[in-house]
Amino acid sequence: MEHVLPTPKQATVAGAEPAERRRIVWAGVRIELVSNGWMVVEAVVAITAGVLARSVLLTAFGLDSVLELVTGGVLLWRLLVEARGGALARVERAENRAAWITGVGLSLLCVYIAALAVLELATRTHAESSPVGVGLAVVALVLMPLLARRKRRLATRLGSAALRGDAACSITCAYMAAALLVGLALNALLGWWWADALAALTLLIWLVPEAREALAGARAGRGACACGDDDCQD
């Protein structure tokens, strides 16, 4: 979910003409606008539907989208700065700030999920079915891999660790959407009330490493790097 923003030195691609690179960067801007726009929809729909259905799983998915929007916004800014021919030095401070915000936010989200999921299981709280949540998960499961493939292609052409990390994060979001879909479907179709809490705890498989990597990146004075993307270390 978190992104590493390359330094001006890292931002150059050997042999690329300035006009051609700028065209590719603008393509990156457009794909990030689509990605961030979807994160807004995902966050609003998931949190609203989650609160109405009393679903820890759905609400947690929406809150994670909010945090991804923070780092995605910094990445979009970085691309816009380069597309307009500006210096990238001022982005570095915002990058590190976003890493701290995301790392702390993800850590709190992990605690929130664990506590409420255990409470839900202990009190046998029944989350209501959410057709809206199921629909959201289906769309995310289809859309995020498509966005990830496009981002990775652009990242290769730009030599951008930021976009490579963002592509990995889009795939992570797809995995989370799959867990969301399974949990909501089991609750809606089979009445397995515990599926919501169990699937919410499953989200920690992806969220805990993201939180750890974001905090490690912030302490090192660089942008957050998570989602298991080794290229972020470039």
Q: What is the pLDDT of residue 32?
A: 93
Q: Please, what are the averages of pLDDT over each run of 10 residues along the chain (234 residues)?
A: 46 60 91 95 95 90 89 85 75 72 85 88 84 94 94 88 82 89 88 88 88 80 54 48
Q: Is 8 in contact with 89 (CB distance < 8 Å)?
A: yes
Q: Is 211 in contact with 106 (CB distance < 8 Å)?
A: yes
Can you tell me the distance from the alpha carbon of 170 to that of 223, in angstroms, rounded to the nearest whole number?
17
3-state secondary structure of 54: coil
Q: Which two tokens stand for residue 191?
A: 């009445």
Q: Which two tokens stand for residue 40?
A: 């807004």
The residue with tokens 């995301």 is 102
